[in-house]
Amino acid sequence: MGLVVHKFGGTSVAGPERLKAVAARLVAAQRSGTRVVAVLSAMGKTTDDLIALAHEISESPHSRELDMLLSVGERVSCALAAMAIHDLGHEAISLTGSQAGIVTDTAHGRAKILEVRGKRVDDALDQGKIVLVAGFQGVSTELEVTTLGRGGSDATAVALAAALGAEACEIYTDVDGVYTADPRIVPEARKLAALSYEEMLELSGAGAKVLMLRSVEFGRNHGVRIHVRSSFNDADGTWIVGQEELVEQPIISGIAHDTSEAEVTILGVPDRPGIAARVVRALADAGVNVDMIVQNVSAEGHTDMSFTVPKAEVGVAERVLGPIVAEIEARGLATDSEIAKISLVGAGMRTHPGVAADMFDALAEAGVNIGIISTSPIRISCVVPAADVERAVRAVHERFALHEPLVSGD
């Protein structure tokens, strides 16, 4: 019998009826002849509610205890789903992340999976049971409960699929798949039948919220085929696979946007080596993730160094950089939280010149000013004013006619 790992997000298990629907889907999958493992998220907004509760108790909740608290939501979902499966006449067992053998590092709140010891899951499958695993959590090398960060249930599911040799990992969510752009901004956006791991990595890293970045990395590194689909219907979704599996490869696959970053600028940076390294190293040591970076000469003839960081980490960046700015005798430090990033992604960029020019033309015609620009072989990203991001996404989507069906040779 083949094995398929199923993952259900918070909206898919938001209440008793949704949990019963999930149970019925899993029973049907087992009846079709596959061994079934399911990874469940917490119900609805349970995690948000638990975080809010923690902050009512403490202004700065202890990281270990916060992980203990937040790990509860997924366990509730799994236990309730197991009860529903039993009521349908099938055997099921719910397991915590640690019981399922999810071993992580020691970073509370953002732990990384180091290995999966899947013997207990395998034994339960051999007994004919549907196995329900609490997502978003594991046990550290120091035997502490850890959580994996936002979207961590995706990583749990793909890691389990890799460790157990699953045929595929089915990610059930509240959308029908991956689209050429956010359908809330571009209603005519088209659902994609398939994407390469590399394209999905770029889209996830650029702000697409459909899949957690680390889950796609797991899939790529271990060859796990990922199927993103809706839990509310039986339609095919979007397959995330290796490049070699894709028959048709468009020039552009999609557009992602991200409004979660801010721009930080060190004004009047002295012209001497080592300053960029010093700045970026200090931010890295403080746990601040730097994304796009550019150095430019201002109208006054001074060199300014600009980069983007998560908005939530601007305060940390300011505290870290303040002493450095003073020591190097720069002119000052400025921040701008009213920015957004728009990214164009497509494997066909490698062999088709002019993509960047077309993107910049579209933004210019829409009256959108471009700030920082960064690229990879299959991605072009631009910083734009936050107020213009939706207009920018629509303009670029229309310029590349991404709403039109893919035809051979596109």
Quote the pLDDT of residue 150. 85
Using DSSP's 3-state secondary structure scheme, residue 92 falls into: strand
Residue 409, pLDDT score = 44
pLDDT of 298 above 80:
no
How many CA atoms are closer than 13 Å to the CA of 400, on its beta-carbon side? 32
Q: What is the pLDDT of residues 307-365, one digit of tens each?
A: 999 999 999 999 999 999 999 989 999 999 999 999 999 988 888 889 999 999 999 99
Residue type, 147: T
Kindly write down the DSSP assignment for every residue of 220-245, as one continuous string: HHHT--EEEEESSS----EEEE-GGG
Element (H, E) at 145: strand 145-147
Sketch the domain layout of the chain as residue ranges.
Answer: 3-174
pLDDT in tens, 231-242: 999 899 999 999
Give, in words, the CATH class of 3-174: alpha beta
